[in-house]
Amino acid sequence: MIEKILIANRGEIAVRIIRACKEMGITSVAIYSEADRHSLHVKKADESYYIGSDPLSGYLSPYRIVNIAVTARCDAIHPGYGFLSENPELAEICERRNIKFIGPDSKIIKKMGDKIQARKAMIEANIPVIPGSEGNIQSLNEAIKIANNIGYPIMLKATNGGGGRGIRRCDNENELNSNYDRVISEATKAFGAPEIFIEKCVLTPKHIEVQILADSHQNNIHLYERDCSVQRRNQKLIEIAPSPQLNEEQRNYIGNLAVKAGKAVNYENAGTVEFLMDNEDNFYFMEMNTRLQVEHTVTETITGVDIVQEQVRIASGLTLSYKQEDISYRGFAIEFRINAEDPKEDFLPSFGKITRYYSAGGPGVRTDASIYTGYIIPPYYDSMCAKLTIWAMDWLDTIQRGRRALGDIGIFGIKTTIPYYLEILKNQNFIDAEFNTSFVDTHPELVEYDDELPPEVIAAAISAAIAAHEGI
């Protein structure tokens, strides 16, 4: 069994992994840049190591990270999400240095990170994929020819992309002409390769993904699906498990399809198979994320499975704690990504000092965060500063609890997406569970909220500040 884990990440997800380590009796090791010297994950880890003054380079250096792990006598490295989590080089170095990488084999990361190879693997496994190019596009003329064959609109995508980057929709040839070089540039800057491909654009789809787990003993299961349709510029805002938009037949179908996809590539550890569901209820494979997802919390909430702990068990060579027949779900869970952004200013990042913070609580409420009162959110990283996960047995009750919990949480000193989410929970389409990936674009009125704080909230914040000052 793994005894000591270096967490190759920061912020909220590092804190989450540290908590799993503590419950399993495993020593946790944090890394931090100068910008993260006072971060919560550094305070909570058993050990911590400085990785340099530059805010990013240390987190993106696989050799430096593995060297620290070896020096600290770690058994394993957990990459979290983002940074190097889907970088096959980190997994390769771990394999060479006898450090267990808590994730799939480097070859699988590389294969599924290449969207062309991933598409081919799914086609061979008879899993439906979106019509598109058979390989990378070599020229603008080739792109135009393929687009004319499959019909507009189309999506230009970075082959090695992820996280919503390197993606452009083109509704006609003029837009294809103007976006072609732009996507190549984005792909090169973000992923180090100018490789792009074309897919037919599925209009107003629902974004449905399935959590899978697989061990080295041929055990493969799914933990049901998540609905990630509420997103902005291909970045998820709200995630729901299970999808209130699917019936049980669809739920079982897509779950089994995801397990089949994992088996097709001999997948091991935790992964997510992402699908698009069109207006005729057809499912199409989109991509496979070979890592822990931001939104894993909603799956844990409805199933009771600790996904991070299962990741550690798998990496230790143990069997899964569950078989498929052991997995069931109860109720609904919603995760709100609390971002340090101002929705009224086109979601402009709002970094700075948190003058007062208090989390939500009560039944069915989970908070994953890396912030505290006095913490200064640095401008170098993702704007998400907390995740609020809500659970209730009934969909409408979950929405009502979400309203209550979003009203409970207090983050002062910066702008956040909290009031925006409160508006979403009032929207009738959302309440009726009728939404797709165009939801945000078709509801611009969601930013027209009153950003004046209620008197009772202001009074509570002032009282808390006075109490803190007086040492009460």
User: How confident is the model at residue 460, as a pLDDT?
Assistant: 57
Question: Residue 88 is encoded by which pair of tokens?
Answer: 């096959």
Among 119, 168, 226, 291, which one carries the catalytic annotation?
A: 291
- pTM of the full structure: 0.91
Exposed (0-12), middle (13-18) or buried (19+): which is 138, by Cβ within 10 Å?
exposed
Q: Is residue 325 part of a domain?
A: yes
Q: Is residue 472 part of a domain?
A: no
Look at residues 154, 184, 200 and tell me which one is the last residue of a structural domain: 200
Q: Is residue 81 part of a domain?
A: yes
Whether residue 218 is found in the same domain as residue 190: no
Tally of residues, the chain:
472
pLDDT tens digits for the chain (472 residues)?
A: 999 999 999 999 999 999 999 999 999 999 999 999 999 999 999 999 999 999 999 999 999 999 999 999 999 999 999 999 999 999 999 999 999 999 999 999 999 999 899 999 999 999 999 999 988 999 999 999 999 999 999 999 998 876 667 889 999 999 999 999 999 998 888 888 899 999 999 999 999 999 999 999 999 999 999 999 999 988 999 999 999 999 999 999 999 999 999 999 999 999 999 999 999 999 999 999 999 999 999 999 999 999 999 999 999 999 999 999 999 999 999 999 999 999 999 999 999 999 999 999 999 999 999 999 999 999 999 999 999 999 999 999 999 999 999 999 999 999 999 999 999 999 999 999 999 999 999 999 999 999 776 665 566 556 655 655 666 6
CATH classification of the domain holding 91: 3.40.50.20
Look at residues 167, 200, 233 and tell me which one is the last residue of a structural domain: 200
User: How confident is the model at residue 462, as a pLDDT?
Assistant: 64
Q: Is residue 235 part of a domain?
A: yes
User: How confident is the model at residue 466, as a pLDDT?
Assistant: 64
Q: Is residue 109 part of a domain?
A: no
User: How confident is the model at residue 165, as a pLDDT?
Assistant: 77
Whether residue 337 is found in the same domain as residue 418: yes
Closest CA relative to residue 298, chosen from 334, 273, 327: 334
- Put residue 373 in one of left, alpha, beta given phi > 0 → left and psi -120 to 50 → alpha: beta
Whether residue 184 is found in the same domain as residue 215: no
DSSP strand pairing (206-214 vs 196-200): unpaired
Distances (CA, A) of 109 to 113, 121, 214, 256, 291: 6, 13, 14, 22, 9
Three-state secondary-structure class, residue 245: coil
Whether residue 212 is found in the same domain as residue 265: yes
Whether residue 254 is found in the same domain as residue 269: yes
Contact 215, 268 (CB under 8 A): yes
User: How confident is the model at residue 112, as a pLDDT?
Assistant: 96
Distance CA 21, CA 1 (A): 12
State the total domains in the chain.
3
CATH classification of the domain holding 335: 3.30.470.20
Q: Is residue 28 part of a domain?
A: yes
Whether residue 294 is found in the same domain as residue 431: yes
Whether residue 341 is found in the same domain as residue 445: yes
Whether residue 308 is found in the same domain as residue 210: yes
Look up 291 and say whether it is catalytic. Answer: yes
The domain of 69 spans: 4-102
Q: Is residue 430 part of a domain?
A: yes
Q: Cβ contacts of residue 416 below 8 Å, gap of 6+? A: 338, 339, 340, 341, 350, 385
Buried b (16+ CB within 10 A) or exposed e, 427-460: beebeebebbbebbeebeebbeeeeeeeeeeeee
Whether residue 375 is found in the same domain as residue 448: yes
Whether residue 192 is found in the same domain as residue 225: no
**DSSP for 156-186, written as a single string:** EEETT--TT-SEEEESSHHHHHHHHHHHHHH
Q: Is residue 12 part of a domain?
A: yes
Q: Which phi and psi angles does 199 have, rounded to 5°?
A: -130, 150
User: How confident is the model at residue 457, as a pLDDT?
Assistant: 57
Whether residue 265 is found in the same domain as residue 401: yes
Whether residue 302 is found in the same domain as residue 428: yes
